[in-house]
Structure 1
């Protein structure tokens, strides 16, 4: 099918899920979770073809790869969504107007979600699951690197839904993985209600600049760990190591370390040694290199960069105000943390940093729909309109006004 035909098919069948009750939604999710585990060998086989064809480096392959553990994690995410209340139909506001009209503001599905994403085939299952539980149809457009994986996951889920008696055609995967196909999806006004891009900065900016369909921007993650003077190294170092190395290819991984100068004079050598022991490449500002001379010099561009690799930039700052200014200047408004025992410094950082998630004494790696109790996420929004942070079920809904009267007319 063409891109337009695929989108139209999702829209034509959107009523199936928009009018489904929560019991039916949960039945679909439960069946899909069972099917993913039962068909893990098939999915992994298709995924291996994608991985073997990939020439884009080990970090990219890590994002692309599926194994039994990751498939089980995907299935658990679907099962978690069955435990979370469907937001559709929630009454957000109700009142009686001066003329006796009874007004309600009610949460409703968006309609047709367009998801354009790179590499990660787990996004395929997460997007379908979130669409189901929020009452939305969904059009998926993954990258060519993961097409066989995405097709396998989609087939398994749709077959599972069909096998228990439901119409699964509100779920559609675009076959055209060309740049022209992506551009066509971005212009599918009147068919696709909202577009959510997930992937590289280039993909996201392309969507922002060229889409005519309304868009929710998910951001790249140039995330910071800031060690303030009063921090305990015994806490600060594990937070840094976890934020940077627990999984480097994800958007909530730390890319830049900020330190107050007195703290750096006491502890930078030990921090550098711990990072190097983990295999992290370090680039640093001139003040840092005066303390640890063997460090490689950082360019100005390095401080703006989301490395998505075992690499980090280090910069010395002059207190919490300077740290806030650096985060807001160089960061991407994603996730940033302060490690400190000074409550006033912490509160200033939490209020002053303009990011979707800000932390005090915790790893940036927690910015995640599953970790936040949302079951899964459609992406992490770094914009401020409609949705911000991990986008779960409520963020995939809109609202409408329902007005009940008994014959009122306006004079």
Structure 2
């Protein structure tokens, strides 16, 4: 049976007053005893201590006694059993230890530490990315099997809903942006080529630039800022609310329920958005050529068909599936890496957009080198 922590002050005539502790001086039984003990010691000044009647003593009780007696009190003069005496010495030594001040690294040392941490973080990110891709590949292969064995297992409703929200709803912004990009390319081309009397070749410049590069680049960058951030925020908020953990406890694979529908939704919609961007960009160039160079739509379209051709169009469209996989993969991966705080969510959403745009530029450069080597 536990007893509350108690103390009493015994003072004989002509002798040093002694505070006698009894009961259980443990964390669960201290109560207000440490406060009263400190007031009693402070009121009488020089006082002795006797804890031999204490039944149980832990670090909390020892710290209460050390704090009440004062840091300059000699704990060796406390009357105690051997085990209690050792505990008092341990706690008293810990109280008197001065905290070690560690000077933060500066100058070249700080630079080397930041570089080392950056290299290690790149390694960790690479390993996590490979694990994410491996898990996603397994889910894709398993879903392909469901198409033939159990088509109802595929989450068609989630795929088409995400395709509408992440892809089709982006048609207006993609079309408007591509229109102005095509117009700017046409205006710059007309002004530059006019110096050489070759302004008619602005049509070929617009066609090649829009069909080959700007259609997919503008579409991918807009989806990186629109869909990748959305995917990261949605999955990150679910991770913060432990909804993903609950899905795993219920036996539902988050990759199959959350990642794959977003992956397939962008894979289905980005070719359509690229085609819309192509039409809008060509239309913007047509408007500029018609208004600045007085070249009609029939002339514009005929030169596009004769001198540009469909090869450049298919070159641009061939990049669309790769861009879709990269955008969806980066957005979902960053969302699944969110921790339990809002700061982590904001950091991961920002990283999703930045990484996606960086990957888009790098992939487009790789495609350009590949097609140049293939002479396409």
TM-score by length of 1: 0.23
Relative to its length, the structure with more strand (as a share) is: 1
Greater radius of gyration (CA): 2
Relative to its length, the structure with more helix (as a share) is: 2
**Structure with more relative contact order (C-alpha pairs < 8 Å, separation 6 or more):** 1
TM-score by length of 2: 0.25
